[in-house]
């Protein structure tokens, strides 16, 4: 084996190891935490839910973020970002949800509008009856 053959074999080996490591370590780390199935009510007169008395406010309950849009509608989606499970916040100005961990954004329906998340947040049905807001789905 001459020097050129030796260097070729070493180079090929290093490339194979590097590619193998990258394939294992560079794959997308997107996870989709399972969104809860819920059926509960929030008393809007309860001080714990006072944020929902203001347009743009939101609260968390049972794995769900419940928000009041700037137009006064109630919306609810799963609170765990579908990228790596960090809790999202509601942003009234854009009427959507934002994950500060890596910047994923979601529409008010929970649909992904910006990655790295690739799965939608689960959307829940909200029904207002008097001062009771029911969330299910």
Residues that bind ligand FES (CB under 6 A): 81, 83-84, 86, 99, 101-104, 116-117
Residue among 68 and 83 whose Cβ is closer to ligand FES:
83
**Cα gap 76→112, rounded to integer Å:** 15
Nearest to residue 35, comparing CAs of 121, 134, 136?
Answer: 121
CB of 40 to ligand FES, least distance (A): 24
| Closest CB to ligand FES among residues 52, 80 | 80
d(CA 12, CA 9): 5
Decide if 87 contacts 60 (C-beta within 8 A): yes
Pick between residue 43 and residue 102 the one whose CB is nearest to ligand FES. Answer: 102
To ligand FES, the closest distance from the beta carbon of 120 in angstroms equals 13
How far apart, in whole angstroms, are the C-alpha atoms of residue 27 and residue 36? 27
**Distance in Å, CB of 33 to ligand FES, minimum:** 9
């Amino acid at each position: 084996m001459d020097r050129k053959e030796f260097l070729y074999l070493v180079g090929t080996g290093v490339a194979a190891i590097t590619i193998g490591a990258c394939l294992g370590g560079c794959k997308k780390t997107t996870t989709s935490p399972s969104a809860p199935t819920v059926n509960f009510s929030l008393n809007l007169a309860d001080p714990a839910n006072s944020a929902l008395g203001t347009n743009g406010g939101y609260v968390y309950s049972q794995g769900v973020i419940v928000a009041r849009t700037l137009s006064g509608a109630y919306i609810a989606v799963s609170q765990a970002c579908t990228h790596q499970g960090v809790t999202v916040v509601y942003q009234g100005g854009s009427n959507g949800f934002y994950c500060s961990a890596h910047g994923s954004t979601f529409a008010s329906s929970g649909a992904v509008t910006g990655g790295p998340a690739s799965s939608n947040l689960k959307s829940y049905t909200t029904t207002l009856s008097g001062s009771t807001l029911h969330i299910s789905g």
